[in-house]
A = this chain, B = another copy of it.
Amino acid sequence: MTDILKGMRVVEGSAFVAVPLAGMTLAQMGADVIRFDRIGGGLDAGRWPLAPSGQSLFWAGLNKGKRSIAVDMKSERGKELVTQIITAPGEDAGMFLTNLRVRGWMDHATLSQYRDDLIMVTLTGDRHGRPQVDYTVNPALGIPDITGPVGHAEPVAHALPAWDCIAGNMIVSALLAAERHRLRTGEGQDVELALKDVAAAVMGHLGLIGDAVVNENKREKSGNALYGAYGQDFVCACGTRVMVIGLTSRQWAGLVKVTGTSDAMDSLARRTGRHLDDEGARWTLRDDITAILKPWFAARRVDEFATAFDKAGLTWSRFRTIKEAVAEDPDLSDENPIFKVLHQPELGRFPVPGTPMNFSATDRQPPVAAPALGADTEEILGDVVGLPDAEIAALFDHGVVQSPRFAAARTAA
Q: Smallest CB–CB gap between A336 and chain B, Å? A: 6
Stretch at the interface among A75-83, A141-149, A268-276: A141-149
Asked if A40 lies at the interface with its beta carbon under 8 angstroms from chain B, I say: no
Contacts of A84 in B (CB 8 A): none
21 A-B pairs (CB sep. < 8 Å)? A29-B177, A47-B229, A49-B219, A56-B207, A57-B207, A61-B210, A127-B338, A131-B313, A136-B245, A137-B317, A157-B233, A162-B162, A169-B169, A170-B356, A172-B173, A174-B357, A174-B359, A197-B338, A198-B356, A208-B322, A214-B350
* Nearest CB of B to A213, in Å: 4
Q: Is there contact, CB below 8 Å, between A331 and B283? A: no
CA distance A185 to B361 in the complex (A): 10
Chain B residues near A349 (CB-CB < 8 A): 213-214
Least CB distance, A91 to chain B, in whole angstroms: 11
Report chain B residues within 8 Å CB of A156.
147-149, 156, 223-224
**Within A176-226, which residues are at the interface with B (CB < 8 Å)?**
176-181, 183, 185, 187-194, 196-198, 200-215, 218-219, 221-224, 226
Mark out the residues of chain A between 40 and 93 whose CB falls within 8 Å of any chain B CB in the assembled complex: 43, 46-52, 56-62, 64
A5 proximal to B (CB < 8 A):
yes
Q: Measured between C-beta atoms, what is the minimum distance from A63 to chain B in Å?
A: 10
Nearest first, the 10 A-B pairs at minimum CB distance are A48-B228, A142-B322, A162-B162, A57-B207, A169-B169, A204-B353, A49-B211, A214-B348, A213-B350, A176-B176
Closest to A43 in B: B248
Cα(A1)–Cα(B103), bound, Å: 28
Q: Is the CB of B353 within 8 A of A201?
A: yes
> Which of B29, B62, B149 makes the CB contact (< 8 A) with A205?
B62
Q: Which residue from chain B places its CB closest to the CB of A187 in the assembled complex?
A: B361
Chain B residue at minimum C-beta to C-beta distance from A278: B46
Task: Give the complex CA separation of A182 and B218 in angstroms.
Answer: 48
Whether A324 touches B356, Cβ cut-off 8 Å, given contacts A173-B172, A226-B135, is: no
One of A17-25, A259-267, A387-395 contacting the partner: A17-25
The answer to the question of A241 belonging to the interface, with a C-beta cut-off of 8 Å to chain B, is: yes
Query: Smallest distance from the beta carbon of A17 to chain B beta carbons, Å?
Result: 7
Chain B neighbourhood of A308, CB < 8 A: none
What does the 1/0 interface line of A160-174 toward B look like (CB < 8 Å)? 111001100110111
| A123-135 near B? 1/0 per residue, CB < 8 Å | 0011100011101
Chain B residue at minimum C-beta to C-beta distance from A20 = B205
* Shortest distance between the CB of A186 and any CB in chain B (Å): 11
Given A51-B215, A139-B243, A25 contacting B359 (CB threshold 8 A): no
Chain B residue contacts of A148, Cβ below 8 A = 148-149, 156
Are A356 and B190 within 8 A (Cβ)?
no
Chain B residues within 8 Å of A215, by CB: 49, 51-52
Residues of B within 8 Å of A146, CB to CB, are 159, 322
Chain B residues lying within 8 Å of A181, measured Cβ to Cβ, are: 4, 359, 361-362
Does B47 lie within 8 Å of A279, measured CB to CB? Answer: yes
Q: Is A207's CB under 8 angstroms from B60's CB?
A: yes
If the complex has contacts A125-B315, A154-B149, A196-B331, are A209 and B351 also in contact, measured as CB distance less than 8 A?
Answer: yes
A366 on the B face (CB < 8 A): no
Question: Would you call B48 and A245 a contact (CB within 8 A)?
Answer: no
**Min CB distance, A167 to chain B, in Å?**
8
Name the residue of chain B whose CB is nearest to the CB of A320. B142
CB interface residues, A 282-296, toward B, < 8 Å: 283
**Distance of A7 from chain B, by nearest CB (Å):** 9
A83-112 contact mask (Cβ, 8 Å, vs B): 1 or 0: 000000000000000000000000010000
Known contacts A201-B355, A336-B127; is-contact A139 B233 (Cβ 8 Å): yes
Within 8 A of B (CB), among A352-388: 352-362
- Is A113 among interface residues, defined by CB-CB distance under 8 A? no
State the Cβ distance, A348 to closest chain B Cβ, in Å. Answer: 4
